[in-house]
């Protein structure tokens, strides 16, 4: 089963890495659209279990909702940077996401451990993608302002309480991340990927 999951994720990664080799923001937009899907699937299945009266896992619902909220803001940030401007990119991202959702739902129903494994591979890939981008474009990113949606999410406003749910770090700098420029925004993405991988 793990080999099959690695193959599926490998195809997905190959597609995004090849098709979007020279277009970072559309690539990140596609990745973020896909990154939300496992949490949608987990929430759907957990709600189903509760609706059927089988078992209740309200703490799991809470954490997975916080994770979708976090991914939603990654997606909004990518949209604000123009990642979703081309119809073909939106078409591809949403169709991959739909197919992925219907893979994860039965997987989570039958083999939840493998569904988490699949998500771990994708989060891992996202972490390395952002890490590589940060390293290569550090100076240029530090010259660009953080999008307003990133400032709202990471620093200001009522959105913040859901961000707190995501935190596993005890050090205060991770709980109150810097968001002075676009570089900081990508660093925060990385921190969130790491937190998800630790959970």
**Chain residues in the site for Fe ion (CB under 5 A):** 32, 35, 71, 74
Q: Name the burial class of residue 61, with classes exposed (0-12), middle (13-18) and buried (19+) by CB atoms within 10 angstroms of its CB.
A: middle
71 versus 84: smaller Cβ distance to Fe ion? 71
The DSSP secondary-structure symbol of 146 reads P
Q: What are phi and psi of 134, to 5 degrees?
A: -60, -45
Per-residue tokens: 188: 């925060």
Quote the least distance from Cβ 103 to Fe ion, whole Å: 19
Per-residue tokens: 155: 């620093």
Quote the least distance from Cβ 124 to Fe ion, whole Å: 12
Quote the least distance from Cβ 126 to Fe ion, whole Å: 6
Q: Which residue is nearest to Fe ion (CB)?
A: 74
Please say whether the beta carbons of 162 and 66 come within 8 A. yes
35 versus 66: smaller Cβ distance to Fe ion? 35
23 versus 50: smaller Cβ distance to Fe ion? 23
Quote the least distance from Cβ 73 to Fe ion, whole Å: 8
With a CB cutoff of 8 Å and minimum separation 6, the contacts of 185 are 77, 146, 147, 150, 154, 179
108 versus 127: smaller Cβ distance to Fe ion? 127
């Amino acid at each position: 089963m793990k080999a099959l999951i690695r193959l599926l994720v490998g195809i997905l990664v190959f597609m995004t890495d090849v098709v979007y080799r020279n277009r970072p923001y559309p690539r990140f937009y596609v990745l973020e659209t896909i990154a939300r899907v496992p949490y949608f699937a987990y929430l759907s299945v957990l709600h189903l279990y509760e609706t059927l009266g089988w078992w209740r896992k309200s703490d799991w619902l809470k954490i997975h909702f916080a994770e979708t909220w976090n991914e939603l803001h990654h997606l909004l940030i990518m949209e604000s940077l123009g990642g979703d401007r081309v119809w073909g990119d939106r078409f591809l991202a949403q169709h991959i996401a739909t197919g992925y959702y219907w893979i994860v739902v039965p997987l989570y129903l039958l083999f939840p451990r493998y569904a988490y494994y699949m998500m771990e591979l994708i989060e891992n890939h996202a972490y390395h993608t952002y890490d590589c981008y940060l390293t290569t474009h550090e100076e240029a990113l530090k010259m660009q302002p953080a999008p307003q949606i990133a400032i709202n999410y990471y620093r200001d406003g009522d959105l913040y309480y859901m961000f707190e749910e995501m935190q596993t770090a005890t050090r205060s700098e991770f709980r109150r991340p810097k968001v002075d420029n676009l570089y900081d925004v990508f660093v925060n993405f990385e921190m969130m990927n790491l937190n998800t991988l630790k959970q």
